[in-house]
Amino acid sequence: MVGGDHLGVSANEIERRLLELGIVEGASVQILHEGPIGRDPIAVRVNGTTIALRRREAMAIMVGEHDRAAKTVP
């Protein structure tokens, strides 16, 4: 869940946009590139799909470490 407003865009609108792009709990997110001016936009890979995000959208994403060992089948 996204909290507060980010540069005039409501938290609900940002959350809706991120969900539409496939950024959901458990999604694999990798930063590929940051733009040259103000580091905007940011190119990210989400579960194998490359998308561009504005920095204000990217700031709304909570990221944690992925434990690959937990997914390993003996």
**Nearest to 27, CA basis, from 57, 60, 69, 64:** 64
* pTM score over 0.85: no
In the chain, DSSP assigns E strands to 29-34, 42-46, 49-53
Question: Residue 31: what residue type?
Answer: I
Residue corresponding to tokens 């994403």:
61
Q: What is the mean pLDDT of each run of 10 residues along the chain (74 residues)?
A: 60 87 87 88 91 85 69 46
Query: What's the chain's Rg over C-alpha atoms?
Result: 14
Q: Are 44 and 53 in contact (CB under 8 A)?
A: yes
